[in-house]
Homo-oligomer: A and B are copies of this chain.
Amino acid sequence: MADSPRDGIQLAVSTVIFALREHPDTGLSAVWIPLVRRIKEPFLDRWALPGGWVTEPESLADAAARNLLETTGVQPSYLEQLYAFGDVERSTSSRVVSIVYWALVRADQAEQATDGDNVRWFPADHLPELAFDHNVIIEYALWRLRTKVEYSRIAHALLGETFTLTELRNVHEAILRKPLDPANFRRQVEGSLQPTDAVVSGGRHRPPRLYRYNANTELVDNGPLSHEKTGSTRVIS
């Protein structure tokens, strides 16, 4: 083992941010991603994942959250480490190792990142050609989102504290891009939900009940949860 690291390797964090918006083609709710325009070489003017360098006194998750806020204004309700990308040739200039996170933001949080010259939202299935290996990274993050939504309660992070079963189902349908049977969906999730006393009136139909997540019910699959102490995953809201 060498006595000290060779420098020249730059350590970055980036984050794939997911929010739901109406899809321009189908009109249904769909997954969108905010990207930032690169303002220097390499890949000048290309769209890229928000991110930046890790500075001294912060954990990796803190660095991801800070860079997120600085570049897009977004404060996510869920943040989880995705993968460390470190191939030699992934940046054309110098050697960069990126630790990538993925995040979920609610509609109200997403409004903090308004489209402009340097930030723009894209539908996840209509991305331009991005800087570096960011297209590959996003594909992997989408795969992770879609597999995880089926066995965990992350959809919660895209909604407010209380929600109807139809709202929750719409989140799942937007992520999985397929309709779900309302009757079966109810039975799948109701074990981890607590009904509230409130209902939503105003629609021209039977008023649906509002639910909240049952804090007692833990996930079956914990993923990095068993060492959430290390700051790997967190639910901010």
Residues of A within 8 A of B (CB): 1-2, 4-12, 51-60, 63, 67, 70-71, 81, 83-88, 95, 97, 99, 133, 136, 139-140, 143, 147, 221-222, 224, 226-227, 229-232
CB <8 Å contact, B97 and A133: no
CA A95 to CA B55, docked complex, whole Å: 10
CA A53 to CA B224, docked complex, whole Å: 24
CB <8 Å contact, B4 and A10: yes
Instruction: Indicate which residue in B71, B147, B224, B231 contacts A87 across the interface (CB closer than 8 Å).
Output: B231
CA A231 to CA B90, docked complex, whole Å: 12
CB <8 Å contact, A5 and B140: no
CB <8 Å contact, A5 and B11: yes
Instruction: Indicate which residue in B6, B59, B88 contacts A88 across the interface (CB closer than 8 Å).
Output: B59
Which residues does chain B contribute within 8 Å of A1, judged by CB atoms? 51-53, 67, 70-71
Which residues does chain B contribute within 8 Å of A6, judged by CB atoms? 53, 55-56
Instruction: Indicate which residue in B2, B86, B230 contacts A52 across the interface (CB closer than 8 Å).
Output: B2
CB <8 Å contact, B11 and A9: yes
CA A60 to CA B31, docked complex, whole Å: 31
CB <8 Å contact, A133 and B10: no
Instruction: Indicate which residue in B8, B63, B133, B229 contacts A230 across the interface (CB closer than 8 Å).
Output: B133
